[in-house]
Structure 1
């Protein structure tokens, strides 16, 4: 039976009310913004260790549900908050790898509208099985009941400063003096944090200005011993994998880097584990420092990116695909079987970093 004109009009009115209500329901829920068809493109600088995360298709899709497209350009964490050549490009957000960078950005005139730690990963040392086997004999590396390797970093740094040969540390597969390499602390966060950790280890506690005067020279000597220092944590990790046992025996990096590399190709990892060659090993310095990843909002629109990144979906992807822990340093999903028991559930031996003013003074010392 045909509808009357009046009934048809009432039907259209009802549909309009439902449609309008649906529009406002979606509009008020940031995780559904993408359904409206509008996208906001946000541009800013990110630490290189987060490049693969933002390139992940599922991450791109999850951000799209928030109506966001993120254009993250890679820069060193220290550079992005200090270099006017970068800041003059008017980034809408900065995503460095240390909470201290928030204070340094503010000191450099960045008008911060908001900041929030959205990811965490501890600083670790990467080495190879033959090196670890030797260091276990000399007592510098121990294994926990859960099978995780802990490193006495202070003892290792003392050996480096003393010019100790690898063979004296139980590592007969390497020639010459023991060494460890990090990134450039004046450009990249992993080197920056390693410098702060080393200073605190030489000082016996979280370093103060007096400790810088007393032990800063030791940190300076450790970094001079490294030779060339990469400007990027990602590039150094690639050098480690490409250089192998002889090229890069020990480097400073982030826990998530090996996890991300394994999950990118689990079958490759299984082949490496089954092969007779040297295998990568992650060592947890005891104590270590946490690399917090704060999203610094410069443009108000980037507040939506903070909301997206702390959502359960993106937090789960950060952990299960890329090895980033949540804001509190804990797992935010079920670990893939490829990494299994590779990671400790929690990293409990953690030191705070020295304050921003002290770290800037240390950077000046290391740049000379």
Structure 2
């Protein structure tokens, strides 16, 4: 018996509906399908404090949802993440420190499924315009547009020699030249700066043979800093809150000032346009070291997180909203006008870090 056109159409709709439903059942394990349905996998782990702003950014949350993911990241120092048995005992699905050498250290503690550098951010020294100008007059720095470059070895020598601020063009600052970093045994910016300082004091990449000769100076450098925070983010927060008198020079990541500017553009406009001289500024050490931000997958769920974070959309959010360079150290294709020109397009003078065994010896000495 012939079937009516309406009946055939009805079966077609029913069949199409079944096909769609079947398709969803069949493909719902694909992350992009789960994201479209509002069904996401929660991936839990630890991340360095400098990445918390990116992780909590609503644009990041929305982009990850499109990949079927939600991220629950607890703040932890980069060195702590890979060494602290208490943290590792919580069975995180991922670790997101801020240094590639720490991946080798993590391998001694946990089974790594995959690691991939998501972002890069060079180590910089944050100071204030009048102090930076004094360093220029003293021959230690040069101004390059909206940022400065600084002779890193010359600055370390000045700190170790206990030179007075007045010798570096700052008679109003109290006492001697001070440089503050985070605790290298807990936080990556301090860890990276310790490696850079060891290289500069050794005259080349520090090795097991050259380290003993420079270790006393390195210990002297860090002891002279006084209290050292366990968080790079806390160091930067104290810097912007304390001003040039309390926090004349601190070690941080390039992206921190960029993120701070973009977080409140009106605040930055007021500061940049004010007559007062206390404006924050980044000084790029010559040479510096790159702080890579590798995501370490400890659970299969974190493998899809790596893929998502390497997507163009999330890479652009990392750069445009937070100042994180891509894996090769390049800046993104799109730049917010508020930060245009504040960072060099490429960092030419980059030193390699000492190997992990040398860094472990440094950490022992700096406890």
Task: State the secondary structure of the residue aligned to 2:271.
Answer: helix
Give the CA deviation at 1:15: 3.9
Match of 1:68 in 2: 69
Is 1:79 matched up with 2:58? no
Match of 2:47 in 1: 46
Contact 1:115 1:297 in 2 (8 A): yes
- 1:195-222 C-alpha deviation (Å, 9 max, x unpaired): 0000000111111112211101111000
Q: Which runs of 5+ in 2 are unaligned?
A: none
Alignment of 1:253-332 (within 5 A): 253-277=252-276, 278-332=278-332
Match of 2:112 in 1: 112
Give the CA deviation at 1:20: 3.7
Give the CA deviation at 1:5: 3.1
Give the CA deviation at 1:172: 1.9
Task: State the secondary structure of the residue aligned to 1:209.
Answer: coil
Task: State the secondary structure of the residue aligned to 2:35.
Answer: helix
The TM-score normalised by the length of structure 2 is 0.95
- 1:217-268 C-alpha deviation (Å, 9 max, x unpaired): 1110000000000110000100001110100000000000000000011111
166-175 vs 245-254, which moves further: 166-175
Give the CA deviation at 1:32: 4.4
Alignment of 1:113-192 (within 5 A): 113-144=113-144, 146-192=145-191
Give the CA deviation at 1:102: 0.5
Give the CA deviation at 1:3: 4.7
Give the CA deviation at 1:31: 3.9
Task: State the secondary structure of the residue aligned to 2:221.
Answer: helix
Contact 1:166 1:176 in 2 (8 A): yes
Q: Which runs of 5+ in 1 are unaligned?
A: none
Give the distance between the partners of 1:317 and 1:49, measured in 2 at CA. 15
Give the distance between the partners of 1:181 and 1:83, measured in 2 at CA. 24
Is 1:196 matched up with 2:198? no
Task: State the secondary structure of the residue aligned to 2:126.
Answer: strand
Change (3 A) 1:89 1:25: closer
Give the CA deviation at 1:276: 2.1
14-23 vs 109-118, which moves further: 14-23
- 1:83-114 C-alpha deviation (Å, 9 max, x unpaired): 0010001000000000011100112x211111
Contact 2:147 2:281 in 1 (8 A): no
- 1:131-150 C-alpha deviation (Å, 9 max, x unpaired): 11111101111123x55310
Task: State the secondary structure of the residue aligned to 2:90.
Answer: coil
- 1:316-340 C-alpha deviation (Å, 9 max, x unpaired): 0000000001111111231111112
Give the distance between the partners of 2:334 and 2:26, measured in 1 at CA. 35
Give the distance between the partners of 1:82 and 1:284, measured in 2 at CA. 30
Give the distance between the partners of 2:185 and 2:342, measured in 1 at CA. 31
Give the distance between the partners of 1:269 and 1:306, measured in 2 at CA. 33
Alignment of 1:83-102 (within 5 A): 83-102=84-103
Give the distance between the partners of 2:27 and 2:73, measured in 1 at CA. 30
Give the distance between the partners of 1:286 and 1:294, measured in 2 at CA. 24
Matched residues, number? 363
Give the distance between the partners of 2:206 and 2:89, measured in 1 at CA. 33
345-354 vs 8-17, which moves further: 8-17
Match of 2:339 in 1: 339
Give the distance between the partners of 1:338 and 1:169, measured in 2 at CA. 30
Match of 2:231 in 1: 232
Let me know the Cα RMSD of the aligned residues: 1.5
Change (3 A) 1:172 1:31: farther
Task: State the secondary structure of the residue aligned to 2:366.
Answer: helix
Contact 2:38 2:65 in 1 (8 A): no
Give the distance between the partners of 2:33 and 2:196, measured in 1 at CA. 42
Change (3 A) 1:210 1:17: same
- 1:286-345 C-alpha deviation (Å, 9 max, x unpaired): 000000000000011110110110001100000000000111111123111111211111
Contact 1:263 1:322 in 2 (8 A): yes
